[in-house]
Chains A and B, each alone.
Chain A
Amino acid sequence: MILGIETSCDETAAAVVTEDGRILSSVVSSQAALHARFGGVVPEVASRRHLELVSPVVRAALDDAGQSLDAVERVAVTQGPGLVGALLVGISAAKGLAWARRLPLVPVDHLEGHVASLYLEPGALEPPFTCLLASGGHTILLAVREKGRSERLGTTLDDAAGEAFDKGARLLGLGYPGGAAIDRIAREGDPAAFDFPVARVPGLDLSFSGLKTALLYAVRDLEPVELEARRADLAASYQRAIVRALVGRLRAAAEATGLERIAVVGGVAANSELRAALPDAAFAPLQLCTDNAAMIASCARFVEALPYPRYLGLDAYASLS
């Protein structure tokens, strides 16, 4: 039995997962409402909240699983990338917990964690496959040949896809977080109404900053009344452009690697248009798209556990290695 803890951004999460990949519990306490008034995640605000929530969330995960700590054989925790102050809350709590019980600790890379959301039951996926990880913090294409380790093929040169959704939603006055808001209103709009450019960058990288600027100009050109009337069209066209970019790059990546099977993970994997545009792809289950600890515990099954006392000095890392 593995206890997972995740505090890399604005979700405080804990989960209990079995060695064969069954989720016994997965508790996620989202701080989205807390950060909404700032229009994005504020690191210090997030870290303060993680400290308030970490114990109750771990307790809730154990309760939901019907387990006591005595049944936990390993503690898994997100080591990075993410907000260092936020990561350190989870890492410190996990180290204290593991040390006091002489349990092994498994430091998990957050991005590998997202990929490992595909290895949970029911319907666990087996490598090899080409994977798109698209979230508020990351947009990365990966070649996955074995569990727990993937090879980076390309990434966004500026904004992450989720960030592009957030910024677009702000320009359209749709609030935060933006992905779900745009997805919802886009259903009433015409995706061909506006011709937004999909940036062309070399290789398997992506760029969303030009798209955001195009939306800004389109919004600026409209009178307030007109903007109101065309908001759904703008959202639908903007979403279409993001989805096209992601789908195009994922297909190209699959071709480049020869790993034909494709998968999508991360918060943007919940987007309904992206799901519709990739009928042949494996998607992370909806409840495992946004940050959670079940994926961290899942990943811990495939990466090296640090036995006591090797993890006592474990530190967080902020950015991609």
Chain B
Amino acid sequence: MLVLAFDTATDVTTSALVRDGDVLGERVGEARTLLEDLDELLAGATAGASDLDALVVGTGPGSFTSTRIGLAVARGLGLALSVPAAGVSTLDALAAAHPGAYAVLDARRREVFVAGPRAVSPDELELEPGTLCIGNGAVRYRATLERLGAEVPPDDDERHLPHARLHAALARELGPVEGIEPIYARLPDAELSRT
């Protein structure tokens, strides 16, 4: 089973091509050039898009626009290939990098996205002492999290990226791409200002 996985929700877009659990290739890039990465992945495995059996796509939370780019690409692929797909939360994929890790994504506006999913101020997190915090939010708010008793790996540690091979490993039920919804974890500003 040939699976193409990608996640565009954070500031770093990841993608991976996986066959029956074996990672054939991985890429790290940007959301707007995701298709270039996917093209290279397939070319590297001398496969074509029509050889794909399933898609796995990161659903955020993250930047609204870039999360949608991944989901829209997936919808285009779904229309073209009629392959089933699964959505995996970016937080879940990130946490899967290390047993017991706590995923912390930068949510801008002095907040982070954590399991829930919810957007909170990093000061308000309640963490068990020694919790391993990973993700671009953990890097950005390292000082705060360490003060709260957490451990944060060095900035360049690979575990801070939501590698798409982790999404592929976590994917369970496959269904129509159109059924995969983004996790926004926040209302649009226009809705917020109305309430």
Which A residues fall within an 8 A CB radius of B? 37-38, 42, 44-45, 47-48, 51, 54-56, 58-59, 69, 84-85, 88-102, 309, 312-313, 315
B188 x A45 contact (CB < 8 A): yes
Bound together, the chains give a CA A302 to CA B150 distance in angstroms of: 59
Q: A95-B73, A102-B49, A312-B35 are in contact. List 15 more A-B contacts (CB 8 A).
A: A37-B194, A51-B182, A69-B80, A88-B32, A89-B69, A91-B72, A92-B73, A93-B79, A95-B35, A96-B79, A98-B80, A99-B49, A100-B80, A309-B36, A313-B36
Instruction: Given A42-B190, A44-B190, A45-B191, answer yes or no on A55-B65 (Cβ-Cβ < 8 Å).
Output: no
Cβ contact within 8 Å between A313 and B32: yes
6 tightest Cβ-Cβ pairs between the two chains A and B? A96-B76, A100-B80, A92-B72, A44-B188, A97-B76, A93-B76
Q: How distant is the Cα of A94 from the Cα of B188 in the complex, in angstroms?
A: 25
Mark out the residues of chain B between 68 and 104 whose CB falls within 8 Å of any chain A CB in the assembled complex: 68-81
Is there contact, CB below 8 Å, between A88 and B49? no
Q: Are A47 and B190 interface neighbours, CB within 8 A?
A: no
**Distance of A47 Cα from B71 Cα, bound (Å):** 12
The reply to whether A89 and B68 contact each other, CB–CB distance below 8 Å, is yes
25 pairs of residues in contact across A and B, judged by CB atoms under 8 Å: A42-B188, A44-B64, A45-B190, A45-B191, A47-B65, A54-B75, A55-B78, A88-B69, A89-B69, A92-B68, A92-B70, A93-B76, A95-B73, A97-B79, A98-B80, A99-B35, A99-B39, A99-B80, A100-B49, A100-B76, A101-B49, A309-B36, A312-B39, A313-B32, A313-B36
Minimal beta-carbon separation of B191 from chain A (angstroms): 7
Q: In the bound complex, what is the Cα–Cα distance between A208 and B190 (angstroms)?
A: 26
CB distance from A314 to the nearest CB of B (A): 8
Could you tell me if A96 and B74 are in contact, using CB atoms closer than 8 angstroms? yes
List residues of B whose CB falls within 8 A of some A CB: 32-36, 38-39, 49-50, 64-65, 68-81, 177-178, 182, 184, 188-191, 194
Among B72, B191, B194, the most chain A Cβ lie within 10 Å of the Cβ of B72
A55 CA to B72 CA in the complex, in Å?
A: 9
Chain A hits for B74, CB < 8 A: 96
Q: Are A51 and B75 in contact (CB under 8 A)?
A: yes
A42: chain B residues within 8 A (beta carbon): 188, 190
CB-defined contacts of B35 to chain A, threshold 8 Å: 95-96, 99, 312-313
Query: How far is B76's CA from A48's CA once the two chains are assembled, in angstroms?
Result: 16
A294 and B49 alpha carbons, distance in the complex (Å): 28
Which residues on the A side are within 8 Å of B184 (C-beta)?
A: 48
In the assembly, what is the distance between CA of A47 and CA of B190, in Å? 13
CB–CB B80/A101 < 8 A: yes
Q: Flag if B73 contacts A93 (CB, 8 Å).
A: yes
Say how far B59's CB is from chain A's closest CB, in angstroms: 11
Collect the chain B residues with CB atoms within 8 Å of residue A37's CB: 194
| CB closest residue in chain A, given B71 | A51
* A51 CB contacts on chain B under 8 angstroms: 68, 71-72, 75, 182
> In the complex the two chains form, what is the Cα distance from A309 to B36 in whole Å?
8
A85 to B189, CA, bound (A): 14
**Given A45-B190, A93-B72, A315-B32: A88 and B65 interface contact (C-beta under 8 Å):** yes
Question: Contact between B64 and A94 (Cβ–Cβ < 8 Å)?
Answer: no
- Complex Cα distance, B187 from A42, in Å, reads 12
CB of A97 to closest CB in B, whole Å: 4
Residues in chain B near residue A100, CB distance under 8 A: 49-50, 76-77, 80-81
Find the residue from B65, B184, B191 having the highest chain A CB count within 10 A.
B65
Asked whether, in the complex, the Cβ of A88 is within 8 Å of the Cβ of B79, the reply is no
Whether A47 lies near B79 (C-beta < 8 A) is no
Q: Is A96 in contact with B73, judged by CB distance below 8 angstroms?
A: yes
Q: Which residues of A contact B182 (CB under 8 A)?
A: 48, 51
- Are A58 and B79 closer than 8 Å at their CB atoms? yes
Is there an interface contact between B78 and A92, defined as CB atoms closer than 8 Å? no
* Cα separation A97 to B71 with both chains bound (whole Å): 12
- Scoring B76, B79, B80 by chain A CB atoms within 10 A of each residue's CB, the highest score goes to B76
Q: How far is the CB of B70 from chain A (nearest CB, A)?
A: 8
Across the interface, A69 reaches (CB within 8 A) one of B65, B73, B79, B191, namely B79
Contact among B36, B39, B69, B188 with A48 in the assembled complex (CB-CB below 8 Å): B188
Chain A contacts for B69, CB-based, 8 A? 88-89, 92
Question: Please, which residues of chain A bring their CB within 8 A of the CB of B33?
Answer: 312-313
The residues of B that contact A48 with a CB separation of less than 8 Å are 64, 68, 182, 184, 188
Task: Give the residues in chain A near B32, CB-CB below 8 Å.
Answer: 88, 313, 315
- Closest chain-A Cβ to B95's Cβ sits at a distance in Å of 25
Q: Are B38 and A44 in contact (CB under 8 A)?
A: no
- Please pick, from B36, B65, B72, B191, the residue contacting A96 in the complex, using a CB distance under 8 A: B72
Chain A residue nearest in CB terms to B48: A102
